[in-house]
Amino acid sequence: PGNPPVLVDETACLQRAAKRIIDGAAFDNNILCIAEKEVFVVERIFADFIKTMQDFGAVLLNDEQISTLTTKVFGHKDGRVVVSRDFIGKNANVLARAVGLTLADDVRLLFGQTDADHPFVQEEQMMPFLPIVKVKDAQEGIARSVQAEHGFKHTAMIHSNDLDVITKFNKALD
Instruction: Please write the tens of the pLDDT for every residue from 68-95.
Output: 999 999 998 998 989 999 999 999 999 9
Task: Report CA-CA distances (Å) from 57 to 53, 107, 125.
Answer: 7, 7, 21
H or E stretch covering 48: helix 46-55
Question: Across the chain, what does the average pLDDT equal?
Answer: 96
Give the mean model confidence (pLDDT) for residues 100-119: 97
pLDDT at 94: 97
pTM: 0.97
pLDDT band of residue 120 (cuts 50, 70, 90) is very high
The amino acid sitting at 168 is K
Cα end-to-end distance, the chain, whole Å: 16
Q: Is the pLDDT of residue 1 over 90?
A: no
pLDDT at 140: 98
pLDDT at 125: 86
